[in-house]
Amino acid sequence: DTGVSQDPRHKITKRGQNVTFRCDPISEHNRLYWYRQTLGQGPEFLTYFQNEAQLEKSRLLSDRFSAERPKGSFSTLEIQRTEQGDSAMYLCASSLEIGEAFFGQGTRLTVV
């Protein structure tokens, strides 16, 4: 399977705990994106990497959120001190410089 892979698929955590999600993009894609989707809404952009450089961050990405793509391949998204409002589907996507983005299956986070 050469698609975008995300791990874990589901995560339940207690409020205040830290969580980290991983995304493995399509290997030849240099662009990587994180989105967040809540129930009944479309995905919302969080951040964008070109290779290892994080070039854009949405204002949705509070100080508790941090994303990395250390070698320009896989990426991680960490949420510190989780809040109930962080409960959502976190989607990773990758693309070439031109063309559509391909999405992973997402990580569903539930903060209890």
Partner 1 sequence: DQQVKQNSPSLSVQEGRISILNCDYTNSMFDYFLWYKKYPAEGPTFLISISSIKDKNEDGRFTVFLNKSAKHLSLHIVPSQPGDSAVYFCAASSPRGNAGNMLTFGGGTRLMVKP
Q: What one-character-per-residue DSSP string does 6-21 give?
A: EE-SEEEE-TT--EEE
Strands 107-111 and 10-13: parallel
Of 19, 69, 106, 111, the one binding partner 1 (CB under 8 A) is 106
> How many angstroms separate the CA atoms of 7 and 5, rounded?
7
Q: Does 45 bind partner 1 (CB under 8 A)?
A: yes
Pair 93, 99: CB distance under 8 Å? no
Per CB under 8 A, contacts with partner 1 among 69-88 are none
Q: Please say which residue, 45 or 74, places its beta carbon nearer to partner 1.
A: 45
Binding positions for partner 1, rule: CB under 8 A: 4, 6, 31, 33, 35, 40-45, 48, 50, 55-56, 91, 93, 95, 97, 99-106, 108
